[in-house]
Structure 1
């Protein structure tokens, strides 16, 4: 093993406007950026953590400091999974290890992962919960978006009005909705009936984490995705028979290494695969873009909410995302 040095910084990302989901409003987001060096090459990783588990920047920094010696000893990415638990700290280190490995090998990350050359990916663009008319206007503003995700809050009548307003504004777009744990089981039937009428194609995390058993035997004509309910590879077996799709987020599962493992296991269990993101810059989206090459659904719009992204950054065009190797990987030449 080659010994490494590790450094980290905390940055506060500012959102261009408040972003509301069920139970939370985001105006800023603190991220931790880890840099690993072997003296000749370096690798970086950015993590936001998981706000609803208490995995915030201070918690990530505590975890990193506690694991400093083990990380600087130069473990493999698989060994890292035993050093740090799933979560933001491991995500930042794991992604830094991938970039470091790519720099050493002079190969792109996708090639190291055994994937085909990447292609642009259609991504959803997310509309935070607000007044239906305001949300409809935002949907019109997303003129290039082909896929739109709508944040709901569990207020059934208002949420139905939100969906109807956006469908009227964007009859051409693929629509999915995200409950962010805001609904009760008794609301599912009327909610899904209204979503069907509005031609919504995905219902994400309608029930609270810990209430997964309420989906046992429930048959939905619209695919249901698990997000907060499934944090890591260890929790995947509980998803089978309850969720049709798994939303993998690198901050939840602890990095690209486990994310790739989760995608393979979800396929084996007969579920679809989605890649999502917490609030983050292009440095956080680029590893997700690699995972997205294996996914049915992609939600990597994090930088679109920020007042300022990194340079170079991901490109959004015609409803797609493209993350070039200049952003993260062997050819990365960061400016900011």
Structure 2
């Protein structure tokens, strides 16, 4: 049966500003894709990220360029060679997974061979602010099992100490978003140990991480901006201990599964991450999350209003979306 494709820009206002080392977000801009066969519709979402040269306009243009092939029946495997990895392919790939589930009567979980995702611990994020403000924010979520702390190079020691004092029991991920340098990474190792930090995420720019080869950190270092697709795994394994799998970088769930399996085959830890997004981005990522050591999928928690039936946060535990939201018969 002939398919029809629709792609559009959707914007979701945030309930509060989201501050990281690269700037401040007040809204989530996403590309939503719907692929229909008859009256059955599969949906997917991608979040174009300027760090990787992406924009809403470019993503929509990439999807339009692939329209004929998609509507003619291109498969998810076809997309691996006809579209570049990124937000545009993510939206299309996930829409095809959803469409197949609805047409076949088999859930995405069944197609992958995994159980259906269940409630799991997912990091709650504290954005960059003054140490006192970050400590106050941490006190509000101190009962959460996992907290992610955004920092830059200005006052990370004071910021991290304030968060740890306010949340003494939570596991901590520290995320400088490429804002540190080699000297700071080396110098801050004892403090990370003292504050019982579990993971340091992409501390230095991806283009400047070569020195990590041979470095033995006291706290595991996770590749984020340095990690995109399964083809990166040899270099990642020489420099990092953990890989952050994001569907907007792998170009969809298909590529994410390839990267996650490649990472595990090399003995690396796994993290599942996301951009600031709606629950339509998170539902596919839950299938990687259930395989992961660290989960950071709180993107929709920042929205003023999410898509109906989406995921819910319960004190740092993510509740999957309502039945039928995505990837189910």
> What TM-score does the superposition give when structure 1 sets the normalisation length?
0.95
CA deviation profile, 1:48-91 (whole Å, cap 9, x unmatched): 12220121211101101111111111111111111110000000
| 1:239 equivalent in alignment to 2:249 | no
CA deviation profile, 1:245-296 (whole Å, cap 9, x unmatched): 0001000110001101111000011101111000101111101111111111
| 1:278 equivalent in alignment to 2:267 | no
Contact 2:200 2:220 in 1 (8 A): yes
| 1:181 equivalent in alignment to 2:178 | yes
In the aligned structure 1, how far is the partner of 2:63 from the partner of 2:316? 36
Within a 5 Å distance, the mapping from 1:1-336 to structure 2 comes to 2-155=1-154, 158-324=155-321, 325-331=323-329
SS in 2 for 1:330: coil
Q: CA deviation at 1:318?
A: 4.0
Q: CA deviation at 1:183?
A: 0.6
Q: CA deviation at 1:40?
A: 3.3
SS in 1 for 2:66: helix
Contact 2:175 2:200 in 1 (8 A): yes
Contact 1:314 1:327 in 2 (8 A): no
Once superposed, what is the RMSD of the aligned Cα atoms? 1.2
Contact 1:127 1:151 in 2 (8 A): yes
CA deviation profile, 1:20-49 (whole Å, cap 9, x unmatched): 111221112210000001113110001112
In the aligned structure 2, how far is the partner of 1:327 from the partner of 1:150? 30
Structure 1's unaligned 5+ residue stretches are: 332-336
How many residues are aligned here? 328
In the aligned structure 2, how far is the partner of 1:227 from the partner of 1:207? 10
Contact 2:301 2:312 in 1 (8 A): no
Q: Indicate the larger mover: 229-238 or 249-258.
A: 229-238
SS in 2 for 1:201: strand
